[in-house]
């Protein structure tokens, strides 16, 4: 039978704060920054299942059943304060990564979604976490993912020479994805404030509104998404305390480039 994947997307709302009760307010603010304050999100959850396409129904799983399962799981979390209403976060900081992990475990407990292929939890349009099954064949069947992916989106506008010596303004979105274990203390893959600072210093402040056609890193090369990705990759290799997984560049024509060095 044909192997395929099926993804269900659904929104829910919840509020939280990044906070460890054993730390004083100063340390919480220092480590978690603005996330220390109570705030809410309209989350977008993507649940992906993999499996064989049934030759009779043409489906991996009945779509109605999948929607019901995802809705049932999220009903417990929707319009809740994660710190105060959810027992899962009595010891865990309710970060995007930890919330994704809790949801992962909830779906793994359901026989219909036990073989889940991935979860992506978007905290907004510029931040999301993603989990996949462990790749180690020796891992127990119900083992949690050893690592998580965390993606941060940035806006970057550069320029390039077009035809007839015309200088074109080129607005882009830059997705920086890092991979690493979820820290058991902070609940994060990486320090997001530090990541933002380094991306700003190494890319945004340096290249924003720059004409790449005259930039020494692009000398003698056409200024394309591929060229720009090759310029950005070494600048971002050590940008976080997690390893750089990949970059995605998207322009205003909805042309998308994924790059992994």
Residues 142 and 167 in one domain: no
Let me know: does 154 contact 177? Beta carbons within 8 Å.
Answer: no
- pLDDT digits 0-9 by tens, 74-112: 999 999 999 999 999 999 999 999 999 999 999 999 998
Of the three residues 108, 125, 146, the one that is the final residue of a domain is: 146
Residues 77 and 142 in one domain: yes
| Closest C-alpha to 208, from 247, 259, 258, 159 | 159
Residues 170 and 207 in one domain: yes
The answer to whether residue 37 scores a pLDDT higher than 60 is: yes
Residues 120 and 66 in one domain: yes
Let me know: does 179 contact 245? Beta carbons within 8 Å.
Answer: yes
Identify whether 122 is a catalytic site residue. Answer: no
- What mean pLDDT do residues 37-51 have? 94
Host domain of residue 51: 1-146
Residues 134 and 43 in one domain: yes
Quick one: pLDDT band at residue 230, thresholds 50, 70, 90?
A: very high
Of the three residues 118, 146, 174, the one that is the final residue of a domain is: 146
Residues 132 and 43 in one domain: yes
Residues 226 and 123 in one domain: no
pTM of the predicted structure, to 2 decimals:
0.92
Of the three residues 146, 161, 196, the one that is the final residue of a domain is: 146
Of 16, 35, 41, 130, the catalytic one is 35
Residues 180 and 84 in one domain: no
Residues 164 and 180 in one domain: yes
Residues 116 and 31 in one domain: yes
Domain CATH code at residue 238 = 3.30.479.10
Of 39, 75, 79, 201, the catalytic one is 79
Identify whether 41 is a catalytic site residue. Answer: no
Of 41, 97, 123, 218, the catalytic one is 123
Residues 239 and 118 in one domain: no
User: How many structural domains is the chain composed of?
Assistant: 2
Identify whether 79 is a catalytic site residue. Answer: yes
- What mean pLDDT do residues 144-168 have? 90
| Closest C-alpha to 72, from 18, 134, 16, 10 | 10
CA distance 85 to 90: 9
The answer to whether residue 139 scores a pLDDT higher than 90 is: no
């Amino acid at each position: 039978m044909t192997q395929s994947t099926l993804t269900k997307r659904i929104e829910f709302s919840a509020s939280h704060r990044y906070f460890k009760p054993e730390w004083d307010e100063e340390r919480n603010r220092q480590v978690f920054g603005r996330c220390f304050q109570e705030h809410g999100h309209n989350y977008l959850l993507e649940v992906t299942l993999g499996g064989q396409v049934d030759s009779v129904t043409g489906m991996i799983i009945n779509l109605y059943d999948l929607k019901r399962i995802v809705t049932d799981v999220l009903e417990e979390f929707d319009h809740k304060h994660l710190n105060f209403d959810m027992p899962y976060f009595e010891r865990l900081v309710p970060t995007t990564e930890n919330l994704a992990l809790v949801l992962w475990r909830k779906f793994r407990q359901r026989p219909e979604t036990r073989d889940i292929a991935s979860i992506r939890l978007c905290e907004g349009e510029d931040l999301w976490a993603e989990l996949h099954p462990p790749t180690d064949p020796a891992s127990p069947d119900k083992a949690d993912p050893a690592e998580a992916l965390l993606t941060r989106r940035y806006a970057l506008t550069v320029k390039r020479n077009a035809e007839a010596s015309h200088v074109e303004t080129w607005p882009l979105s830059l997705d920086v994805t890092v991979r690493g274990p979820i820290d058991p203390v902070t609940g994060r893959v990486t320090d997001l404030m530090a990541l933002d600072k380094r991306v700003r210093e190494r890319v945004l402040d340096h290249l924003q509104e720059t004409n790449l056609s005259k930039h020494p890193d692009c000398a003698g090369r056409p200024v394309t998404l591929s060229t720009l990705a090759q310029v950005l990759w070494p600048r971002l290799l050590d940008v976080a305390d997690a390893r750089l997984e990949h970059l995605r560049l998207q322009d205003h024509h909805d042309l998308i480039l994924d790059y992994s060095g």
